[in-house]
Every structure is written in C-alpha cells, then in structure tokens.
Structure 1
Amino acid sequence: MKKIMILLMTMILTLSAVTLDDKVKYMNNIKELVILTQKMRGNTNIYMKGGYVTQSIISDDRNEVADSLRNLHRQFKTVTFEINDEFATLNLYMQNLNDVAAELGDMTTFQAYSLLIREMIKLGGKVQEDLFKNDTEINKRLSSIMMKSILPLTEQLGKLRGLGAGSAVCSTCEDDELDYLQDNMANVLDDLDSFVLEMNILYSDYKMNYRDTLPVQLNRYQKKVREYVKYVDAKIMADENVNIDSYDFFDKGTDLIDQTVDFYDINAAILK
C-alpha cells in the first residue's frame, strides 16, 4: 500500500511540474507521428500496387515512424502512465503490421494502417483534454482545434491522397476502393467546413493573436481542398479508366496536408 501511495504521489508531482512547452512538444510529436504514418501508408499502397515507390522508401518511412514513437516514449513524464502505455501498445501493433503487410491485400493493409492512425488521433484528443483541463480558456480552445479538428482533417486528406494515388498506378479503382473513397470525400468536406468555422470563430474571439490575413488564407485553403475533392470525383470516381499521374496526385495531396499543418503551427505558436 505504501509503495502504491508513493507511486501515485510521484505521478501527481510529475504531472504538476509539466510546463506549457512540454505539453506543446508532446502534442507536436503526436502530430508528427500522424503525418509520418499517413505518408508511410500512402507510399505502401503505391508500392503494393506496383508504382514508383521502392522498398528503400518504405524502409525509410518505417524508420521515421519508429523514431517518432520512440521520441514520444522519451517524454513519458509529460502524460499519464495510461497514455504512455497506450502509445507503447500502438508501437507493438505497428511493428506487427509492418511484419505482415506484404502478405495482406493492399486495401486490407491500407485500412489497418488507417485504424492505427485513428487511434493515434483519438489518443491525441485524450492528451489534449488531460494536459489542458485546468488551463486558460484560450489555451483549451487552441489545443483543442489542433488535436481534434486539424489532425482529423489531415487524416481525411491523407486517405484521399493515398487511395487516389494507388488507383492512378493501376489506372482503375476497385469497387471497395470506390465505396471507401466516396465516404472519405464526404468526410473531407464535413471536417473542412467544421474546421474553417471553428478557426474563424477563434479568429473573431482572439483577433489580436492572429495575423489580419488569416481569413484570406482560410478561404484560399478551403477552395483548394474542395478543388482536390472535385478532381477525385471527376477523374477517379466517374471514370472507369483512371488516367492521372500518381506522383503528381500524391504531391498535390501532400501540399494540401502541409497547408493544413500550417494552421496547426499558427495555433501552436500562439499557445506557446
């Protein structure tokens, strides 16, 4: 009993000593992990379909993801034991999936990686709630939009990018991929509109913290995402013969994800 009490007191004292920089650093690491895993998933899909991605690229992707997970573990004092254990479990799942990915179908592999990313984002939301539950209102809202709006939006775009590029390699889109893409396109637009609305409200409430050009940046970004979705609808969904450049499509998706992350960074800078 005494040992348990000492352990609990140590945990409480450790969490109370966590600085704002520690919190932001941990969330940034989750963001990095999500983005890297999205890239690995997309490249793996292209590789499995016989595209331009090589085995060495996949190996590099896996090493980057593994490094990111290790960096999270090194920051274990920032979060609860439960969160740290859940990320450790995710790491094991990731290693196991990497080991068997070549034996699975491309769509099965894509969906399996997507499940892991979903758990990363879910854990990111829990981290945000735990770290900022006693913080200021603005810090709660900034950290919330970063983890609960922006990260999920990058994931919807990442799915669109990875599946679309894979379809371009084969010049066709299978029925299960079409269904998946159809749902994904709707999710992109829903998450996009929710994010833009939330970002505009934040800008209105805390205008002094943002650049005056933010509304213009948001409008331009929203237009580009919608154009990307329309392109998928016209060139992949509506055409049995997919005739687009896989590398170019993936690159455009990456550019949109980078622009999405820019909004994350804008809010992170204010949070600091």
Structure 2
Amino acid sequence: MRLLLLALLMVFNLQAKSLFSNEEQKNTSEYIENLKNLILATQRTRGLTNSYLNGNTAAMLLVFSNRDDMKIAIGNMESLPLAADPVINARATAISKALTRLNRKAFKQDPKKTFAAYTDQIEQTLMLAQAASKRSAKNLSDFGKAISSTMMELMLPMTEYTGELRGKGAGIAAKGKVTKEQMQDMLALLYQLQSTNKKLQNSMSKIISDYSSKLPQTATSELEQIDKKTKAYMDLIQKKLLKHPEKVNSDEYFDQGTDLIDAIVALYDTSNKAIKEDAKGWL
C-alpha cells in the first residue's frame, strides 16, 4: 500500500511539473530571444550609422546588413504566439513602424539627431522586453522568473550602455577629437555601465548559487568574462579615447565594444537556453 502511494505521488509530481512547464514558457523564451536580436541589430545599426556620418565611409555596407537583421528579428517576433497579446502587439508594431521610417532618413540627418532617434527606439524595445517578461511571468517557474528578470532588467540594458559607448565613441575616434559635452555624456554612460555590471554580478551569482542544477558550469566563467571585459573597455575609454581620441582607431574601438556585448549575449543565451530546458519539465 505504501509503495502504491509513493508511486501515485511520483506520478502526480511528474504530471504537475509537466503541466507547469508548458509551451507558454517556451514561447516566452523564443520571443525574448528575438527581442534581444532586434536590440543588438538596432544598436549595431546606430553605431555604424554614426561612424559613417562622422566620416567612416567603410561602415555603409555594414549598416544595410544590420538593417536586414532588424527586419528578420521583427518578422520572427510577429510570427510568435506572444505577439497575440494586444499590449505587446501594439508596442511592437509602433517600434517596427518607427524603425522603418528612421532607416529611410538616417543618412540624411545630423549624426547626433540620428543617434538619439535610434536610442529612443532601443529604449522602447527594452521597455517592450520588460513588459513581455512581466506579462508572461505567471507562466514561468520560479527559476524562469528570477533569471528572465535579470536578463531583461540588467543584461539587455547593459548591452545598451555598451552600445551607446561603442557608437558614440566610434564617432569620436572617427573625428579624432572630443567635445566637453561628449566627454560628460561618455562619463555618465561609463557610470551606468559600471553600476549595471555590479548589479549583474551580484544577481547572477545568487541565481547560480540558488539554481545550480538549472545552469551549466559555463555560466560562472561567462559572468567572469563580462566583468573582465567591462573593466577593460572602461579603461580604453577613460585612459585612451577621452584623452587622445586621435590615436584610437574607430573600427578597433567599435570591435572591442562588440566583444563586450558578445560576452553579455553569451550569458544571455546560456540563460535563455536554461529557461527552455526548464520548460520541458520531466518530459
């Protein structure tokens, strides 16, 4: 009799986990994956457009390539179940239309105006990412809620601070000089990057500790790489770019920023893969 009860309890637990870890969590994971792709492509488009408008003509072809990546990400988002949510759909549609208009006139505007316009749409997309996470939270496990919150509220904003530093800094390097206004702007972004990295280190360290069975061992080393590359990029900006911009190669500076973003994305992808695995439950 006791064995039968234990067997029934095990079956109940399996069924309960299977019901909890349904397709909705997987769909949320896929949606925020494409949101990430849209944000990264828009950041690259912004930075490369700024570099081009400041004299780096070689950046033009890369701008068009990244615009294509933006279109692909938007198309994927529109095809996913989460797009049926009226709030999410309205925000995503507004962003899509705004980016289409912006891409048409980006090369015809003042560099500062164009950069600000792309930044505004990236901020709107970050807000959409947080809304998607919160509106789907009821379908996520405790692990999914914890890590998706860190992904939306720390990882993606950190790519944006890095992206702004990368784009604005590439423009400074292309011109070979920095104004007082640009200096203040870059220092403010450096503070945001440093602060967000500290929060990310603390948040992810706790998640890795609390849910060690959910994440691969690579998560720890990926987190360490983010910290290391953040400090290296900050040193490049503070000790070289803002002091001797004429000695900094615009493309190399841009690439180092991309390297940091890639490190953040690596942990983001590891985290998102873990959410998908968690969605499978015992199946």
TM range (shorter): 0.7 to 0.9
How far apart are the structure 2 equivalents of 1:207 and 1:85?
A: 37
How far apart are the structure 2 equivalents of 1:59 and 1:134?
A: 37
User: 1:270 maps to what in 2?
Assistant: 274
Number of residue pairs the alignment of both structures matches: 255
User: 1:45 maps to what in 2?
Assistant: 50
Normalising by structure 2, we get a TM-score of: 0.84
User: 1:169 maps to what in 2?
Assistant: 174
Residue 246 (structure 1) aligned to one of 240, 246, 250? 250
How far apart are the structure 2 equivalents of 1:28 and 1:77?
A: 12
State the AA in 2 paired with 1:155: E
User: 1:210 maps to what in 2?
Assistant: 215
For the pair 1:194 / 2:186, whether they are aligned, the reply is: no
State the AA in 2 paired with 1:173: V
How far apart are the structure 2 equivalents of 1:95 and 1:134?
A: 32
* Identity, % of aligned positions: 26
Q: Which segments of 5 or more consecutive residues in structure 2 lack a partner in the other structure?
A: 1-21, 277-283
Range with greater deviation from structure 2 (100-109 or 261-270): 100-109
State the AA in 2 paired with 1:263: L
For the pair 1:259 / 2:267, whether they are aligned, the reply is: no
SS of corresponding position for 1:20:
helix
Whether the aligned pair in 2 keeps the contact of 1:43 and 1:53 (CA below 8 Å) is no
Whether the aligned pair in 2 keeps the contact of 1:46 and 1:53 (CA below 8 Å) is no
For the pair 1:55 / 2:60, whether they are aligned, the reply is: yes
State the AA in 2 paired with 1:129: K
CA RMSD of aligned residues (A): 1.8
How far apart are the structure 1 equivalents of 2:39 and 2:124?
A: 10
Range with greater deviation from structure 2 (176-185 or 258-267): 176-185
User: 1:28 maps to what in 2?
Assistant: 33
Q: Which segments of 5 or more consecutive residues in structure 1 lack a partner in the other structure?
A: 1-16
Whether the aligned pair in 1 keeps the contact of 2:51 and 2:59 (CA below 8 Å) is no
1:133-166 per-position Cα deviation (integer Å, ceiling 9, x unaligned): 3432111112111222111111111111111111
Counterparts of residues 66-215 of structure 1 (less than 5 Å): 66-75=71-80, 77-212=82-217, 214-215=219-220
Whether the aligned pair in 2 keeps the contact of 1:79 and 1:131 (CA below 8 Å) is no
Which protein has the larger Cα radius of gyration, Structure 1 or Structure 2?
Answer: 2
Distance 1:93 1:78, change over 3 A: closer
**CA apart distance, 1:70:** 2.0
User: 1:233 maps to what in 2?
Assistant: 238
Normalising by structure 1, we get a TM-score of: 0.88
**CA apart distance, 1:95:** 1.6
